[in-house]
Amino acid sequence: MRELINLITVNETYFFREAPQMALFKDELLPLLREKNRQEKTIRIWSAACSNGAEPYSIAILIRESGLFTDGGWRVELYGTDINAEAIQTARLGLYTANAFRGVDGAIQNKYFSLKEPGVWELDPGIRQMVHFSLLNLYNPAQIKLMRNMDVILCRNVLIYFDTEGKKQVSEHLYGSLRPSGYLVIGQSESLFKVTTLYKMAPMGNVLVYQRPAEEAD
C-alpha cells in the first residue's frame, strides 16, 4: 500500500508557488501573528500536504526574511506532512533541482541555497532545521488529532483531488486542528463553497482565506 501511495500521489510543487498567497504571508499573516501571539511568543504553522518540502521551506524563508520573530524568545514551530513517504524523505534532505526554483528571485536562491553538485542545490541547514516533517493521512482523524492549536494551516491544491464528501471530511478535520481564530489557506483555484459552513471567509487584500471563528473552542 505504501508503494502504491507513492506512485499515485501528485507531488508537483515549487518554491513560493502562488505568489499572491506568499505575499499574503509576508505582508499580512506574519505581522498579524506577531501581534496576536505577543504574550505567548509562539507561532505554529502546518503545511498539510507538503510534498517535497518546498512549501514549508518557503514559509520558513519568509519568516527568516521578515525578522519579526528573531527577538524576545519567540518559538516558531513549522510542520510539514504528507502521505507520500518518498516525498517526506526528499523534503528532509533539502536537495532541489532547477525546476523547484522557477519564479524564485535569484537573490533568495543564492542566499539560502548552495550548489552541491551540477544541477542540484542544497538548502541552508538553518532553514532546514526549522521544519519538522512526518507522514500523515488527511483522512485519518486519529493522526489529525496529533496536530493541534495551529495558527495557520496550508492545504493548497489538495482538495481538488477529493470528491465532495472527501473535501468535507478533510476540511472539518483541519478545522479541529486550528486554534480559535486560526487560518486555513487552500489553493487559489479551490473553494469550500457547498463543502462546509464551519469556517468564515476572511478576505486579506486580493486573497481569500478561511478562518475558524474566534469564539469557537474544542
User: Is 96 strand, coil or helix?
Assistant: strand
CATH code for residues 2-211: 3.40.50.150
At 207, which helix (H) or strand (E)? strand 207-211
Query: For residue 200, what is its C-alpha cell?
Result: 468564515
Collapsed DSSP state (helix, strand, coil) of residue 161: helix
Q: What is the pLDDT along the chain (218 residues), one digit of tens a residue?
A: 555 444 445 456 899 999 999 999 999 999 999 999 999 999 999 999 999 999 999 999 999 999 999 988 999 999 999 999 999 999 999 999 999 999 899 999 999 999 999 999 999 999 999 999 999 999 999 999 999 999 999 999 999 889 999 999 999 999 999 999 999 999 998 999 999 999 999 999 889 999 999 975 44
Torsion of CA 138, 139, 145, 149, to 10 degrees: 40
Report d(CA 53, CA 80) in Å as an integer. 7
Burial class (CB in 10 A: 0-12, 13-18, 19+), 105: exposed
Provide Rg for the chain, Cα atoms.
17
